[in-house]
Chains A and B, each alone.
Chain A
Amino acid sequence: NAGVMQNPRHLVRRRGQEARLRCSPMKGHSHVYWYRQLPEEGLKFMVYLQKENIIDESGMPKERFSAEFPKEGPSILRIQQVVRGDSAAYFCASSPDGTGGAGANVLTFGAGSRLTVL
């Protein structure tokens, strides 16, 4: 019973390249959340998706960032034309419903993808 799977765990890109981060939610979970952790900071909400729908992208930067969760396959966080400031850990979490885990139910996080932009 695999948890939330993220890959790659580590990704190095040069400025101007594209980064694609993948997240497979826990079995039975159809709600996915992306968070970003900048160095020495806590996690910050980026986007919430259900299958084929973006529910809330209020935490996404306006440009260069996009996310999708297709009917088949993992959720993808895509960063175009990366800059050094994009260097961070990107965490994906999933839940079985849209409350992010009602009550004592909690978000299950993946191990994160660490992006380094040279």
Chain B
Amino acid sequence: ETGVTQTPRHLVMGMTNKKSLKCEQHLGHNAMYWYKQSAKKPLELMFVYSLEERVENNSVPSRFSPECPNSSHLFLHLHTLQPEDSALYLCASSQDRRPMYNEQFFGPGTRLTVL
């Protein structure tokens, strides 16, 4: 138990569906992250939020839309996804973004399958 929870753990959706992934951290951290983990590829950073402001967007397609309503919650809204978007989506948090405080705590992930 890392203090970071993600729901749902598994999600199957069609290409025309709209769904949302939720992440919650109970650690009092100020930075939160979304990562994509695909088979045989390194972990890809998607979005970074620091103090509820988006500070990084790594050229992620607009069909992925993040939202950070407060420092404890992070959402990833999904719409009109493609089959190649099937992956494990991991959420993480850290105290802040400075390297000395950037030990990230990961949630268990949401396994997404797009049909």
A associates with B: no
Residues of B within 8 A of A (CB): none
Residues of A within 8 A of B (CB): none
